[in-house]
Amino acid sequence: MSVQDSWTTSVAQHGPRRDALETALRSAIRDGRLAPGSRLPSTRALALDLGIARGTVVEAYAQLRAEGYLGARRGAGTWVADLGLSIAPSVPRARPAAPSPRFDFHPGQPDLSAFPRAAWAAALRRGLRAAADSTLGYGDPRGRPELREELALYLTRARGAVADPERVVLCCGFRHGLSLVGRALRTERATRMAIEEPCAPPHRAAAAASGLRLVPLAVDERGARTDLLGELRADAVVLGPAHQYPLGVVLQPDRRAAAVEWARATGGVIVEDDYDAELRYDRQPVGALQALAPEHVAYGGTASKTLVPGLRLGWLLLPPRLLEPVLALREVEDVHVPATDQIAFTELLRSGAYERHVRRMRTRYRARRVRLVRMLAERVPAVTPEGAAAGLRVLLDLPGSGPTARELCELASERSLALYEVAGRNAVLVGYGALPEYDAEAGLRALTDLLATVYAS
Ligand SMILES: Cc1ncc(COP(=O)(O)O)c(C=O)c1O
């Protein structure tokens, strides 16, 4: 468990109080997760991160200084004191857990510390208070009508989708949606699904597990080669038009048109992965492809990037022909997503808190991205960031003269940084979004320090 996790868990358990914060910090220092000499975030930054009063953090730091856990000097911040503790776990572990990296640049993870806990809790409280008892029984497998209404409005507003609430189906994230659509297609006698290559490995696995034969579709700097779809004899294709994973490219207008043309001419289905389109930094997000052919596109969205993946909350916007087969699958497996999550999410959308959160996070991630790109330009010009200014990650193409991507990941790991290789390309993915806000600057610095050392000319 990271220090940030233990702070937030302790705060969640004991309430946003000084005691909880002190307990979390003491235990992190005692068991070595906060090493002697580590700098703590400023009281202002930590208070902002945890959503508590700054005075509470000031008092907690003062108490721990008095107890000798922390040191501080005006102008030099607060750091962990050297207590001379030998670090031995009180309960021997059968298998030592792999130490988590100090900075994990996971490309698919948002800043988990930014989950709007208070807004979610308030939305759940408000919604539960008002909800009829019947809301807590077996419900519509698509999801509650109020939630589908709110989502349809949101998708129309934010994504320019053609969103009929009757065709919205809540599911457990995009991966689940893809699996449902894949299996629904099988019941319609579809056999072949084209999928971008490269793509997210779990999505390839989910599509394959649905029983469809996968056909790779090449991707270049203008997006997936939809102009080649006709040759692939596929019944469906999975596309990430707004921000392809992992290459980060955007499907260009002629390629969007080619996909739609293919679907209309062949009756093929486009599965649109619209996982992070709200996070575009250089312009307004490109609208959903679904709007161009609502009868042919199974649109999939998710709260995994805008909120957190642990919610397992996603949504489909389906063409009529796929609605019944998908609902038949829900009836025999999970029935629908949990009622309490639906209640909270309805309220979050209705109150505007969801969109406020997305705006706040967009500003935060944009700032990180700009900072990283600037640091790279100044310190490591040999490494080139690729892809649209969007999402939670950047792809770095590595110069052929230096270490391979795998070697770089190993060097990073020695410094307790986790970077991620890109299959088939000498490149790494850097998920700047995954760092907690209080640690983002330190993480970007540690990364650019490593790259500057490796690629010193
Ligand atoms: C390309 C892509 N699509 C969608 C998702 C979201 O998946 P889910 O909604 O199942 O969490 C991810 C998550 O990493 C992703 O990388």
Q: Give me the residue spans of the domains in the chain.
A: 3-83, 117-353, 355-454
Q: Does the N-terminal peptide bond of residue 201 adopt cis geometry, omega within 30 degrees of 0?
A: no
Q: How confident is the model at residue 238 (pLDDT cuts 50, 70, 90)?
A: very high
Q: Which of 165, 141, 143 is nearest to 155 (CA)?
A: 165
pLDDT of residue 52: 86
Q: What is the CATH number of domain 117-353?
A: 3.40.640.10
- Asked if the model's pLDDT at residue 387 lies above 70, the reply is yes
Calculate mean pLDDT across residues 156-179.
98
Per-residue pLDDT tens over the stretch 74-114: 778 888 888 877 555 455 556 667 779 999 999 999 999 99
> How crowded is residue 24: how many other Cβ atoms within 10 Å of its Cβ?
24
Residue count of the chain: 457
* In 212-296, beta strands by DSSP E: 213-220, 223-224, 236-239, 269-273
Mean residue pLDDT across the chain: 92
Give distance in angstroms: CA of 178 to centre of ligand 1.
10
Distance from chain centroid for Cα 156: 22
Ligand 1 atom nearest the C-alpha of 273 is 3
The span from the CA of 139 to the CA of 308, in Å, is: 24
Instruction: Tell me which residue has its CA closest to atom 16 in ligand 1.
Output: 108
Calculate mean pLDDT across residues 256-266.
98
Give distance in angstroms: CA of 114 to centre of ligand 1.
18
Which residue out of 104, 172, 178, 245 has the highest number of ligand 1 atoms within 8 Å of its CB and is therefore the one to mutate? 245
Structure tokens of 242?
Answer: 């707004």
Give distance in angstroms: CA of 18 to centre of ligand 1.
36
Residues 454, 402 contacting (CB under 8 angstroms) = yes
Per-residue pLDDT tens over the stretch 178-208: 999 999 999 999 999 999 999 999 999 999 9
- Asked if the model's pLDDT at residue 407 lies above 80, the reply is yes
Ligand 1 atom nearest the C-alpha of 175 is 10
* In 295-413, beta strands by DSSP E: 297-302, 314-317, 384-386, 394-397
pLDDT of residue 151: 98
- Asked if the model's pLDDT at residue 291 lies above 90, the reply is yes
Give distance in angstroms: CA of 108 to centre of ligand 1.
7
Which residue out of 275, 312, 429 has the highest number of ligand 1 atoms within 8 Å of its CB and is therefore the one to mutate? 275
Q: How confident is the model at residue 349 (pLDDT cuts 50, 70, 90)?
A: very high
Q: Does the N-terminal peptide bond of residue 246 adopt cis geometry, omega within 30 degrees of 0?
A: yes
Count helices and strands (H / E) in the chain.
Answer: 15, 16
CATH class of 355-454: alpha beta
Instruction: Tell me which residue has its CA closest to atom 1 in ligand 1.
Output: 245
Beta partners for residue 260, in sequence order: none
Instruction: Tell me which residue has its CA closest to atom 5 in ligand 1.
Output: 275
Ligand 1 atom nearest the C-alpha of 176 is 10
CB-based pocket (< 6 A), ligand 1? 108, 173-175, 200, 240, 245, 273, 275, 302, 304, 309, 314
Look up tokens 């309220």; give the residue.
347
Q: What is the CATH number of domain 3-83?
A: 1.10.10.10
Instruction: Tell me which residue has its CA closest to atom 6 in ligand 1.
Output: 174
Q: What percent of the chain is modeled with pLDDT above 90?
A: 77
